[in-house]
Amino acid sequence: MPMVALILSGLSIPAPAQEGGLEQQAVFVAGQEGYHSFRIPALIVSAKGTVLAFCEGRRNSRSDTGDIDLVLKRSFDGGQTWGPMQVVADDGPNTIGNPCPVVDRRTGTIWLPLTRNAGEDTQRQIEAGTSRESRTVWMTRSTDDGATWGRLVEITSSVKAPDWTWYATGPGCGIQLTSGRL
């Protein structure tokens, strides 16, 4: 498996070069595929060896508020080439984000916790408790190597204390303990 590093300027990943070095290529490019910008990346390798690159697709600006979707691209050759962008979660004008994928090495299931809040609410408003809605926490999963994703299930009450105003599942990747716990 190649050494992989995401670079936010274009969310590019160094892929193996022909002569053993690294070659940089853009995976998500600002202004393309219907999005103004891409931020908050997360990268995992599935049990089958597929590289999955997640990030927030920000429709109208680079702002942390507004219409933000969770998007994904998959590579079946170690990051040398990438398939088309998939939208994993889209809640219209609202904010979906903070991907933190984790692979269950026993089953191959890819679990993806994420957060949601009203697109009009800013972090400052959410933290102050003056937002229209509280930030909520959701989970989805894929059992087919990221090709499709299950429905979003809200897990807020299981993971977020009632007095917490802010919550972020990512950015980053989750881990699985040797006990199997995710």
At residue 17, the pLDDT reads: 57
Residue with tokens 């004008």: 93
Write out the chain's pLDDT in tens, 182 residues: 333 444 444 555 565 556 667 778 899 999 999 999 999 999 999 999 999 999 999 999 999 999 999 999 999 999 999 999 999 999 999 999 999 999 999 999 999 999 999 999 999 999 999 999 999 999 999 999 999 999 999 999 999 999 999 999 988 888 888 888 88
At residue 170, the pLDDT reads: 86
At residue 178, the pLDDT reads: 85
User: Model confidence over 138-158: pLDDT tens digits?
Assistant: 999 999 999 999 999 999 999
Cis peptide before 171 (omega within 30 of 0): yes
Q: Are 99 and 54 in contact (CB under 8 A)?
A: yes
Mean pLDDT of the chain: 90
DSSP of the chain: ------BTTTTEEEEE-TTSSEEEEESS-TT-TT-SEEEEEEEEE-TTS-EEEEEEEESS-S-SSSSEEEEEEEESSTTSS----EEEE--TTSEEE----EE-TTT-PEEEEEEEE-TT--HHHHHHT-SSS--EEEEEEESSTTSS----EE-HHHHS-TT-------SS-----TTS--
* Domains of the chain, CATH where assigned: 12-16+23-159 (2.120.10.10)
